[in-house]
């Protein structure tokens, strides 16, 4: 037991990080039932793009209810506040209404450290796990001041889209641990007990893992994407620009997008239009989308 397990009401200080399209009720409940905290990500349990914020929020409501049928343990829900920094999130308010009505307990809030947003969520009674997309000491301090319960420190080793600050997990974790008094969880490239031990040695009080769960039996990722991730190693890694200063860590198939003559920005906006990670990771069309993984 430590501060993280106390705050989240779980047995082990391990969070399954939210991942768009591939963190369904089944995966979330499996992690929570095993003593960690599963987290529903955007498009959880879906296989089509929602028709606007209201439909997206109602789908989230259904997935929350489904998760509750599969586990009586605590789980989290990913939430991007409206002022996320890289643009307004038109889905935020509709989602928040559902989260309040469904009495969600813990929000995994990801974005910029906007004190007003975090304060408002605290006043609404949520437990806040806050992950600054591009981690900074000032952002961690601001989130703590605003009432965040736990900070997630993200290293450039992260799967999915990286921070735009090219600093690894080994550096970011102690930097954030030294900046705040609330517990810090480490994320980015952690996949086994050695990584967990290293995170704790750096002062973290828990770990937040994404990619490690993608190829699990309970994950809804397409088998093509799972096998592709298992098959590829460090020497295959491709970095594709995200459009916000970071990179998508991708398997070599994703290079097909650039080979179609699209520049970085076009790859990014094209990819956003087709439902972000859905094409490769959920539908298994590896040449048409981005299959993302870190380097372990």
Ligand X SMILES: Cc1cc2nc3c(=O)[nH]c(=O)nc-3n(C[C@H](O)[C@H](O)[C@H](O)COP(=O)(O)O)c2cc1C
Whole-number Cα distances in Å, 269 to 20, 37, 200, 242, 275 = 16, 32, 38, 9, 10
**Binding residue for ligand X (CB under 6 A) from 76, 135, 160, 275?**
160
In the complex, minimum distance from the CB of residue 225 to ligand X, in angstroms, rounded to a whole number: 9
Instruction: Record the tokens describing residue 109, joined without a space.
Output: 């809030």
Rule CB under 6 A: choose which of 5, 106, 187, 242 binds ligand X: 187
Which residues 257-286 are close enough to bind ligand X by CB under 6 A? 277, 281
From the list 166, 167, 202, 171, the residue with the least C-alpha distance to 184 is: 202
Q: Enumerate the β-bridge partners of residue 111.
A: 132
CA–CA distance, 204 with 192 (Å, rounded to integer): 15
Interaction of residue 195 with ligand X, rule CB under 6 A: no
Pairing of strands 184-187, 206-209: parallel
Residue 186 touches ligand X, criterion: CB under 6 A: no
Looking at beta carbons, which pairs linking 83-86 to residues 24 or more positions away fall under 8 Å? 83/111, 83/112, 83/114, 83/116, 83/117, 84/110, 84/111, 84/112, 85/111, 85/112, 85/114, 85/133, 86/133, 86/244
18 vs 220 by CB, closer to ligand X:
18
| Binding of residue 149 to ligand X (CB under 6 A) | no
Counting contacts by CB under 6 A, is residue 110 touching ligand X? yes
Residue nearer to ligand X on the CB measure, 10 or 111 = 111
* Shortest Å distance, C-beta 165 to ligand X: 14
Among 56, 95, 285, 292, binds ligand X (CB under 6 A): 292
Tell me whether residue 7 or residue 250 sits nearer to ligand X (CB atom): 250
Q: Is 17 one of the binding residues for ligand X (CB under 6 A)?
A: yes
For binding to ligand X (CB under 6 A), which residues are involved?
17-20, 22, 41-42, 78, 110, 154, 157-160, 187-190, 209-212, 277, 281, 292, 294
């Amino acid at each position: 037991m430590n501060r993280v397990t106390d705050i989240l009401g779980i047995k082990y200080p391990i969070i399954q990080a939210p991942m768009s399209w591939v963190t369904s009720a089944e995966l979330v409940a499996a992690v929570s039932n095993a003593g960690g905290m599963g987290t529903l990500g955007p498009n959880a349990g879906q296989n089509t793009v929602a028709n606007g914020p209201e439909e997206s929020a109602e789908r989230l409501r259904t997935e929350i209810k489904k998760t509750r049928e599969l586990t009586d343990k605590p789980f989290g829900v990913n939430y991007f506040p409206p002022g996320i920094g890289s643009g307004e999130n038109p889905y935020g308010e509709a989602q928040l209404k559902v989260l309040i009505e469904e009495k969600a307990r813990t929000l995994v809030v990801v974005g910029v450290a906007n004190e007003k947003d975090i304060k408002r969520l605290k006043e609404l009674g949520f437990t806040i796990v806050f992950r600054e997309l591009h981690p900074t000491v000032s952002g961690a301090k601001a989130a703590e001041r605003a009432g965040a319960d736990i900070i997630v420190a993200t290293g450039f080793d992260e799967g999915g889209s990286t921070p735009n600050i090219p600093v690894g997990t080994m550096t970011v974790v102690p930097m954030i641990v030294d900046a705040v008094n609330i517990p810090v969880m480490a994320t980015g490239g952690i996949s086994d007990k050695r990584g967990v031990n290293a995170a704790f040695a750096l002062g973290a009080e828990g770990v937040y893992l994404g990619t490690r769960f993608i190829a699990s039996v309970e994950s809804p990722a397409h088998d093509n994407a799972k096998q592709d991730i298992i098959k590829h190693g460090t020497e295959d890694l491709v970095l594709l620009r995200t459009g916000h200063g970071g990179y998508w860590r991708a398997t070599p198939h994703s290079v097909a997008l650039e080979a179609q003559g699209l520049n970085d920005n076009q790859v990014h906006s094209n990819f956003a239009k087709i439902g972000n990670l859905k094409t490769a990771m959920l539908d298994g069309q590896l040449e048409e989308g981005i299959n993302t993984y870190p380097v372990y």
